[in-house]
Structure 1
Amino acid sequence: MALEDIEIAGQVIRAGEGIIIVNETANRDPSVFPDPDLLDLQRNARRHVSFGYGVHQCLGQPLARMELQVAYPALLRRLPTLALATEVEQIPFKHDGFVYGAYELPVTW
């Protein structure tokens, strides 16, 4: 809630008004990330805020990093032919919640 009137990017927020910051806007600043809406697995994204920052850093960050470094490579070694069982356009993505992702991800191997 704003304690006093403030202007941000041309939008005035009056004292007493609340704002909601939408998670989907994180890491989408084109001045920081070129083509921010493009999935680029080779992108040097050292300044991302996917796991929060500082005292607000996600406690699950070490687990997620371990999964990326250990579990996924192990899965791909065990199932080398793992692939989507449908076209990407057919995958139902979550756009209505706190966390972005897919409702389901049909795969084959």
Structure 2
Amino acid sequence: MGVPPSWDVRAVVENMAGECDYPHSDADWPNCPEGLAVQFEGVPDAEIDLITHGNAMRWFSYDPFSVLPREECTVGALRAKATDVDTSFHSPRRLTQRGDGIDVSLQGRWR
């Protein structure tokens, strides 16, 4: 992953977390998983799991798989459940013009 050889790779991996800024309109979502797949090419699955969710689960003492089984939390399964959700890109200007969930005090900053 581009870590200098003098570093303890395990310590680095156990202190990393990925994020895609969802649900903000400038997020990589819904294409984040595909982008991560390219970035993680050649990285062991165990390290990918730590970076994508395992570390956050440990840090926040939260087990999302107690709510939904792991097999229902894959990208494919979650996308299948959310077919009614609009995941298309919305620019901040469009949100300002429509007034969708953006503070009106920010309107002048997006031009």
TM over 0.5: no
TM-score band, normalised by the shorter chain?
Answer: under 0.3
More strand by share: 1
Q: What's the TM-score, normalizing by structure 1?
A: 0.27
Name which one, 1 or 2, has greater alpha-carbon Rg. Answer: 1
Higher relative contact order (CA 8 A, sep 6+): 2
Q: What's the TM-score, normalizing by structure 2?
A: 0.27
